[in-house]
Structure 1
């Protein structure tokens, strides 16, 4: 069987030890800086070095998460921090920010980099693009099927990593702005407030609520039953999500996946994983290319527990499964811990399935289904999966020479390196010589160290005498030599090679781009005499533009004096090559001025044929971000998460475009809340395409409504409830050095588009009934 890495989360030192002792090949953890789990415990520098040394003593790799977007004033500190991590022996960095990637490839070229799932690599062309930029491993988007994973891993030969267990983001990672725009807590910077775990109403076009539930809250995923498909997929590393989870969770997931990898299959594995943590069960996510309401936890967004019976109206419990003192229970949203069990007049610590009992100290519980949310017995077993730092031992084979008149000599070969230690002279035995068994007993001991001599060969043995303490010392020193080498060999000297960034050729364009998605908006743009149009032919519905509309406009663009840009979807999986072919076909109808996208696959496929303009989810947040893409990217929208001062501090503003009007796309998802709630969509049943017959929005607890749009690939877009309106700041942005601007239309009518374009064209303020200012004034954490 081929080698496959099991990669475990370590949100604390206790979790890290659980991972190592239960069989992880690698761990990933965050330091106190620039980690996408800012609210995890994380590690100080001293703790981090101790953790790295501990892992390396077990030959376990350590990957550090530096996977947040960085502002200009943070980048230097991040590179310095990376230099420190390089020196202490960290094996790889998990990264997202393109500016940081560029700096690290330039200044720490030997440091292994892994593209975080936050980089939204979801097709083969995108995976190749970033490996060609110096990324060693691609953490693929969670939305890919086993078939797609195999194409990238085997057919293209890319080293890949996939999430096999844990929480699932409902939006493509790196494509979510919901927490950022609504609350100022950026998911791209590790501070997601998880608005997807809140309840929503699905509203139709008449303002009627058609469904009310936790419509955006998915179940956790698991591939515990899919090991054969995983092995066939060619993936290199299996990643368990959960740096915010308890150590017992880490112990369970690592232990069970390790057993599955090694061929020990058990129905108990999934059963126990459900007991440790689940949201209305576990799903196989997108691994089999399916989506729908089956993968969602519509009714409860936290740990659901497993059903174990019912609470009757009189407060008694009818049990379908065993119950013990210390177990955690839930009835509805009410949670409690079992302090004792009453069976008639008897008080006991446990009850069996089939019994009807009461709980001590709980005279009245609400009637309803009873769930166990904490299994005391299972958690106790998991806690005891190690009793110390060095319970797990790495077995060694040693050779010993032992004869009077010579020094005893102990030799071990470990990973092709020879270690040897000698004792003082072996004496002739005056009374009782040391037997082979006594010598073996002394040399096969092990203390607070990962290694133990399991097999001992005597290359020479003659009866003699040596104090046992000398044998112990010889063994101890040899094993310590192995640990010292394994730890110190991973540490590095040298460090940064500071270099000036190359000159980026200046752009002379002063663009006034108008993003258009409907036929009415196109008419408004033409009636307003706007000349630089960005057409998006991927939304679903008759009112939206399609490729034929684009082709027709290209035929007449010269007569109309237009410059046509094509916005290509940020998510293209199997459709990528078909869309690329369609884009190339459009050239026979007329000249395309450029392509707007943040899809790295599109960038690689088309950058030699078209000018590529990065969309705002290219996530360019600092002045070095453009350098990673070089001339592949002609220009780019700037990140939507910067405030005025941060925008002012950016360099290369001649290559950057700012959005001054538009509903930002908050989420881009394979899952559709409309199809799942009303379209009959399940794992096996296709959607009834209800989105083609009505308009829909999600309404939150505050009454804010977020339009839901769908595209021709049956993906959904959650749009901002209020459009961003910075039309009155155009002159201010020009004073900061920006020369190119964009407005973006999604849901706007013909009349609304006319009014907005008039203001845009004349650089005037426009007062709207409801709008937001984006992050222009406030910025993000």
Structure 2
């Protein structure tokens, strides 16, 4: 296969230079708008253009993130911004918003697009769906195994990008609403508050604490020891996470992976990666399959450092690894910078393995395991690696013509073009002619990214030129080469109509009132209340939940009711089974259609039955449905839109609003129940504790979030309180909506009956403890 790309994060100018100088093939960065790392330093428009030019001078590709959801009021600005990026030569955009993708395909059809990991692409059908919509590369969800990556990349021939190092989201990216719903800071808008990094108690159904830790905080991943396996999986690009990290972090991660890719494996790579940042070590993520507690940083969500020794009760330190003045150390939560170090009574600048030392007695650390959180020597070394923005040189082979009575000339070929530079006429040497070695020496000097590594004489005769002429000729040639590489990427754009044409559905076929139920009792309550459109998810774990067999029975006993199969946003190994079930139920008439956010299922069900988009599709603007064409009957609007934003949406006859329900705050391959009390690790199967009783996560404020699980061993972290805007149905109708739904998850038969009755009658129903979602608040 072609050379695999090493892709580095650049959250600042210094980090970008660090990436380029240490051997990145491509960088990804964000501007000050529409970036999923809104709190990174990011780049102004002027800085972006300079960054693109700098990278292109080195032949490094530049990808810009516009990987947030876009409001209707922002769409024109986002398209204008994309046009600016297109003009300055950005190689590709990393995108999340489906409406933006649809508009970019129309307005800038040859601008390369990469599907962000925020789009949660995790199965082959989903990857094919995006490539058929004009996406060049898929940044795969981080939850895929090597075999799943190989299938999508090699069997299906999809260009993919895989995260190989850095922080993990514990929820599928793009499927997390926890920060948004709880604090108004949306991960889909680049402002995640990282509630997963906070401590939680795991509470059982009797209110007893089953575990207490940083239960949702994963270790960072690294694939430094499995580069060969990942290369063999057929992916096109290896991506390092870290746009919020320091330039030294970028320098180290790029350097280590560059050397591994170039066949220079070294055990020091893992240790140095651990030293620059780790959370209780590294995991290998999902590359080798399912994980449990062994991928989590239960004790410490921050940088843990590297274990280097032990602080004894008398304050002396027994070292197992070197320590130097200026290093940062900690024991537990207490840390300091080493300002003075003693070996006996002697002050020392450094100490090595096996040494016994003491630190400045005025800042004595408690006894315990000593960790080095900062290695000053390593950081200084890494800083020097990008100190000179042109320290790394690219070799150029040039040809020379040099003879008395004619102009001297040097030339080089690049990209099928010949570049030439000449001097004044070469003089006849009166005394000492210029030797070829002397000319070659002058040609190897440089201040930019290139140097003439080889000078091939086409014509060479004894003669003389001032060295200043040779220098000028060299500078001219290399400046031409640089100018060409920079300008070749620039593009022009024809005048663009700035409009977001709304998708119009001639005959919308979405229900006007849809009840989504989880348990058999809830379905029966909905039927008792007179519901005619009911959707069920038949794969939750537990005997109280609806399964496929009972769904068929309910449908057969209630022929006047339109049942819908709700399918998960995430479908991996079970995809074919779910698809076959949907096909069978549709063909038998048991279901009217399918409710899902899974792109693969949307693709596979075309022509089989109607599909309604679920709210995890993140339909955020009037263009969001355009990309689906006739693949969807309609869709549920994003849970992150407020009233004024809902008002601005066009094509409301194809859009559905949720009036009541607990949102899925997280959807995860990881299960806190399985990890904390189920004993699950990569080597050990879960004891299925969730089948015996229910569990919830309790946060520091006392809020409890039910953990629901399904037969595919994934977890759903549900909101502690249901959203309830049943009293706003008249207002939403005034705004132009005609289709609504309520979601039942934990409600009893009685509660479900009362809620469905109120929903069908279009009247308010006050529950004891609820919130109003984002209807009034919204997200930034």
TM-score range for the pair, normalised by the shorter chain length: over 0.9
**1:227, CA displacement in angstroms?**
1.1
Query: Gaps (5+ residues) in structure 1?
Result: none
RMSD between superposed Cα atoms in Å: 1.2
- Match for residue 763 of structure 1? 762
SS in 1 for 2:622: coil
- Match for residue 31 of structure 1? 31
- Whether contact under 8 Å (2:503, 2:623) holds in the other structure is no
- Where do 1:636-675 residues align within 5 Å? 636-675=635-674
Inter-partner Cα distance in structure 2 for 1:151 and 1:605: 17
Inter-partner Cα distance in structure 2 for 1:363 and 1:257: 38
- Whether contact under 8 Å (1:663, 1:744) holds in the other structure is yes
Inter-partner Cα distance in structure 2 for 1:38 and 1:555: 51
- Where do 1:307-386 residues align within 5 Å? 307-360=307-360, 362-386=362-386
Inter-partner Cα distance in structure 2 for 1:394 and 1:699: 56
**1:694, CA displacement in angstroms?**
0.2
- Match for residue 582 of structure 1? 581
- Where do 1:200-211 residues align within 5 Å? 200-211=200-211
Deviates further, 51-60 or 412-421: 412-421
Inter-partner Cα distance in structure 1 for 2:652 and 2:361: 67
- Match for residue 552 of structure 2? 551
- Whether contact under 8 Å (2:502, 2:623) holds in the other structure is no
- Match for residue 492 of structure 2? 493
Structure 1 residues 717 and 503, CA gap change in structure 2 (3 angstroms): closer
Inter-partner Cα distance in structure 2 for 1:226 and 1:495: 46
- Match for residue 283 of structure 1? 283
- Whether contact under 8 Å (1:341, 1:358) holds in the other structure is yes
Inter-partner Cα distance in structure 2 for 1:444 and 1:356: 50
Structure 1 residues 588 and 459, CA gap change in structure 2 (3 angstroms): closer
Deviates further, 693-702 or 766-775: 766-775
Indicate yes or no: 2:631 matched with 1:632.
yes
Inter-partner Cα distance in structure 1 for 2:54 and 2:672: 45
* Residues 659-678 of structure 1 deviation map (CA, whole Å, 9 limit, x = unaligned): 00100000000000000000
- Match for residue 237 of structure 1? 237
Inter-partner Cα distance in structure 1 for 2:777 and 2:290: 40
- Match for residue 609 of structure 2? 610
- Whether contact under 8 Å (1:537, 1:544) holds in the other structure is yes
SS in 2 for 1:592: coil
* Residues 242-299 of structure 1 deviation map (CA, whole Å, 9 limit, x = unaligned): 0000111101111111111111111111111111100000010000112100000000
**1:336, CA displacement in angstroms?**
1.2
- Whether contact under 8 Å (2:318, 2:357) holds in the other structure is yes
Inter-partner Cα distance in structure 2 for 1:617 and 1:24: 34
Structure 1 residues 507 and 315, CA gap change in structure 2 (3 angstroms): farther
Give TM-score scaled by structure 1 length.
Answer: 0.98
- Whether contact under 8 Å (2:19, 2:27) holds in the other structure is yes
Inter-partner Cα distance in structure 1 for 2:733 and 2:7: 48
Inter-partner Cα distance in structure 2 for 1:364 and 1:406: 76
- Whether contact under 8 Å (1:555, 1:589) holds in the other structure is no
- Whether contact under 8 Å (1:328, 1:335) holds in the other structure is yes
Inter-partner Cα distance in structure 1 for 2:611 and 2:20: 45
Inter-partner Cα distance in structure 2 for 1:219 and 1:583: 37
- Match for residue 692 of structure 1? 691
**1:630, CA displacement in angstroms?**
1.8
**1:512, CA displacement in angstroms?**
0.6
Indicate yes or no: 2:741 matched with 1:711.
no
Structure 1 residues 485 and 572, CA gap change in structure 2 (3 angstroms): same
**1:502, CA displacement in angstroms?**
6.7
Inter-partner Cα distance in structure 2 for 1:108 and 1:587: 39
Inter-partner Cα distance in structure 1 for 2:620 and 2:363: 57
- Whether contact under 8 Å (1:507, 1:655) holds in the other structure is no
Structure 1 residues 610 and 67, CA gap change in structure 2 (3 angstroms): same
* Residues 197-247 of structure 1 deviation map (CA, whole Å, 9 limit, x = unaligned): 000000000000000000000000011111111111110000000000011
SS in 2 for 1:366: coil
- Match for residue 724 of structure 2? 725
**1:316, CA displacement in angstroms?**
2.5
Inter-partner Cα distance in structure 2 for 1:749 and 1:598: 27
* Residues 81-140 of structure 1 deviation map (CA, whole Å, 9 limit, x = unaligned): 110010011110000001111111111111110000001110010011011111110000
- Match for residue 529 of structure 2? 528
* Residues 710-753 of structure 1 deviation map (CA, whole Å, 9 limit, x = unaligned): 00100000000000111111111111111111011111111111
- Match for residue 426 of structure 2? 426
Inter-partner Cα distance in structure 2 for 1:508 and 1:403: 81
- Whether contact under 8 Å (1:107, 1:496) holds in the other structure is no
- Whether contact under 8 Å (2:502, 2:650) holds in the other structure is no
- Whether contact under 8 Å (1:538, 1:569) holds in the other structure is no
- Match for residue 294 of structure 2? 294
- Whether contact under 8 Å (1:5, 1:237) holds in the other structure is yes
Structure 1 residues 321 and 596, CA gap change in structure 2 (3 angstroms): same
- Match for residue 263 of structure 1? 263
- Match for residue 540 of structure 1? 541
**1:754, CA displacement in angstroms?**
1.2
**1:358, CA displacement in angstroms?**
1.8
- Whether contact under 8 Å (2:503, 2:625) holds in the other structure is no
**1:35, CA displacement in angstroms?**
0.1
**1:354, CA displacement in angstroms?**
2.1
**1:556, CA displacement in angstroms?**
2.6
Inter-partner Cα distance in structure 1 for 2:97 and 2:293: 33
Inter-partner Cα distance in structure 2 for 1:503 and 1:290: 40
Indicate yes or no: 2:158 matched with 1:195.
no
- Whether contact under 8 Å (1:108, 1:495) holds in the other structure is no
**1:557, CA displacement in angstroms?**
3.1
SS in 2 for 1:632: coil
Inter-partner Cα distance in structure 2 for 1:608 and 1:469: 74
Inter-partner Cα distance in structure 2 for 1:507 and 1:380: 66
SS in 2 for 1:265: coil
**1:30, CA displacement in angstroms?**
0.3
- Whether contact under 8 Å (2:518, 2:745) holds in the other structure is yes
Inter-partner Cα distance in structure 1 for 2:589 and 2:493: 54
Indicate yes or no: 2:90 matched with 1:90.
yes
- Match for residue 451 of structure 2? 452
SS in 1 for 2:700: coil
Q: State the number of aligned residues.
A: 778
Structure 1 residues 757 and 503, CA gap change in structure 2 (3 angstroms): closer
**1:414, CA displacement in angstroms?**
2.0
Inter-partner Cα distance in structure 1 for 2:298 and 2:776: 36
SS in 1 for 2:588: coil
- Match for residue 77 of structure 1? 77
**1:587, CA displacement in angstroms?**
3.0
- Match for residue 437 of structure 1? 437
Inter-partner Cα distance in structure 1 for 2:741 and 2:432: 93
**1:353, CA displacement in angstroms?**
2.1
SS in 2 for 1:105: helix
SS in 1 for 2:621: coil
**1:498, CA displacement in angstroms?**
2.4
**1:367, CA displacement in angstroms?**
2.1
- Whether contact under 8 Å (1:83, 1:495) holds in the other structure is no
- Where do 1:102-117 residues align within 5 Å? 102-117=102-117
SS in 2 for 1:24: coil
- Whether contact under 8 Å (1:4, 1:235) holds in the other structure is yes
SS in 2 for 1:631: coil
**1:361, CA displacement in angstroms?**
5.6
- Whether contact under 8 Å (2:140, 2:161) holds in the other structure is yes
SS in 1 for 2:6: strand
**1:608, CA displacement in angstroms?**
1.8
- Match for residue 249 of structure 1? 249
